[in-house]
Amino acid sequence: EVLRDAFDDLPKGQACLATAALEMRSYFLDLASDPKWLDLHGDKKLRGLLATYPREAVAAQLAFFVFAGHDTTVHLIGSLLFMMASRPELWMQLRTEPAWREAAIEETLRYESPIQKICRVTAKQVTIAGVKIPERQNLVLLLGAANRDEEVFPRPHEFLFRKPNKQI
């Protein structure tokens, strides 16, 4: 309830957010050390993480997966619904030809990606398009721009059902 209230239209202030963050941290820390939960949901990878990293780090990763998966899915669904409402001919095509469902989802990911950029650090020196990038260089990768590359996507600024769709 505290977390929901933190994102309400009329947030109850910074204290509410701090309480929500502490409660979420406690929740995921408890999950990461609950033998019953681990028996039900703890595959070998999760158990391996818990054997290798501090419980706090694993709990933080669990929280990240929950929020990242939720946020991206909500935005993907919203964007797809908006595109179908804006393009009734594509909506009709999707309704009459269900085989286009996957193409509609892939095109939504390409056209209006819920993740527009990611940040990475180079593990070693690399050369990309003739430019040397040193080891440990911070990079910002613009996925939204890559998904509008004219060399990969004909008519990249149009929402079209594409097969295949090599979106990033």
| Beta strands 138-142; 131-133: pairing state | unpaired
Q: Output the pTM of the full model.
A: 0.67
136 three-state secondary structure: coil
As a whole number, the mean pLDDT across the chain is 86
Tens of pLDDT, residues 36-55: 887 787 677 777 888 888 88
Q: Radius of gyration of the chain from Cα atoms?
A: 21
